[in-house]
Amino acid sequence: MKKWLKLSLWIVLIVLVGIQFVPVQRNEIEPVTNADFIEHYESPVVIGNIIRASCYDCHSNQTKYPWYSNVQPIGFLLQNHISEGKSELNLSEFGLLSNRMKRTKLKSILSQIDNDKMPMPSYLFLHSEAKLDSLKKTLLVSYFDSILVDIDR
Amino acid sequence: MKKSNSILTLALLASISFSLIACANKKSTDHGNGVHDHSAMNHKAEDEISDVSVVETSENKSISQLIDQYLVIKNALVQDDARAAASAGQKLAEAASSIDLNTFEASKQSEIKEILEVVKEHGEHIAKSEIAHQREHFEGMAKDFMDLLAITGTDRTLYQQYCPMYDKGKGGSWLSDSQEIKNPLFGSKMLTCGSVKETISMK
């Protein structure tokens, strides 16, 4: 029994150390373009800062990685999460969408924020700066609403 | 003793398979952004459909499947059946991507393409969400669907119906193949809220 235990622990350790060397593609290389939501709509600085802090880690090409993203398998998990978030909504490429798709995405954004579904609780657990208090929430909702109205015109 | 062994083995297997999965997932990263460039935007259908009660369009059967699945989702939501709605949502998304744009006039293709992309998006969300979210997406595509019918024509008479109470009083629309009101946005909670706003029929 003891032998087994020891052997298994060693193998777990080796695997854990081993996966630290598997390269993870990072989501931070691409430069900001005109298609970027904040650039595209020339958002006010205050609004832009809230959107960057609360949405951009998972919904843009510019993730700000925490230190523990260098520890595997946490890094793998994060990367998975980010690509999922980007496939739903990539604010870095928002300007490239058709007006119709922009409206669709904006309605989803509004409903997610309004119903406190985004930013996700599991994300807020480690990113308190991303939390939308009622003031930030009101600001964002009325801002996104105004953009939606502009597209409808 | 044996038990602790098997637990260890399990943990080991789990960590190995986990790292394998993580590696495999990495490869599929950063591709499916679903973003396409539409440099030439067509604003035609952006104009509101006027409040006329009868809209006559040409007959067109190429979008029959799309209308079929839309109505399956509607009926499922009327009956509060999230599972049936989800499977029809999947089929709707598939139908939206399988329509051949070349069967339409060249000048209409870009607009139709944009509508179908949005319908596909809604279908995919209906396929994987709980019922309140399904209803949100179902309501969200009503206008796109009507825009599409205005451009392509329809294969049957449809009724645009409207319930002013949906979404905290903001109101919501849907299409039905029957004049009778059965509300898919509330289901059994408020089955009869709504009225017919528009009839979409063939010339």
Backbone angles phi, psi at A15, to 5 degrees: -65, -45
Tell me if residue B57 falls in helix, strand or coil: strand
Q: How confident is the model at residue B25 (pLDDT cuts 50, 70, 90)?
A: very low
**CB-based contact B187:B80 (threshold 8 Å):** yes
CA angle (B181, B182, B184) in 5-degree steps: 130
**CB contact A40 to B (< 8 Å):** no
The Cα A86–Cα A54 span in angstroms is: 14
Q: Identify the pLDDT of residue A17.
A: 84
Query: In one letter, which amino acid is B107?
Result: S
pLDDT tens digits, residue range B69-120?
999 999 999 999 999 999 999 999 999 998 888 888 888 888 999 999 999 9
CATH architecture of the domain covering B42-154: Up-down Bundle (1.20)
Which residue of chain A has the CA closest to B20?
Answer: A19
**CB contact A83 to B (< 8 Å):** yes
Question: How far B157 CA sits from the closest chain A CA (Å)?
Answer: 25
| Model ipTM value | 0.75
Domain borders along chain B are 42-154
CA angle (B104, B107, B108) in 5-degree steps: 50
Which residue of chain B has the CA closest to A151?
Answer: B46
**CB-based contact A50:A136 (threshold 8 Å):** yes
**CB-based contact A24:B26 (threshold 8 Å):** yes
- Quote the mean pLDDT of chain B: 77
Q: Identify the pLDDT of residue B56.
A: 65
Q: Which two tokens stand for residue A152?
A: 């409808």
Mutation choice for A interface testing from B15, B25, B29 by most A CBs within 10 A = B29
Question: How far A76 CA sits from the closest chain B CA (Å)?
Answer: 6
**CB-based contact A112:A141 (threshold 8 Å):** no
Q: For each of chain A's 153 residues, which pLDDT tens digit applies?
A: 688 899 999 999 988 888 777 776 776 666 778 889 998 898 899 999 999 999 998 999 888 888 777 777 777 888 888 888 999 999 999 999 999 999 999 999 999 998 888 998 888 888 888 999 999 999 999 999 999 888 866
Q: Which of A9, A93, A107 lies nearest to residue B33, judging by beta carbons?
A: A93
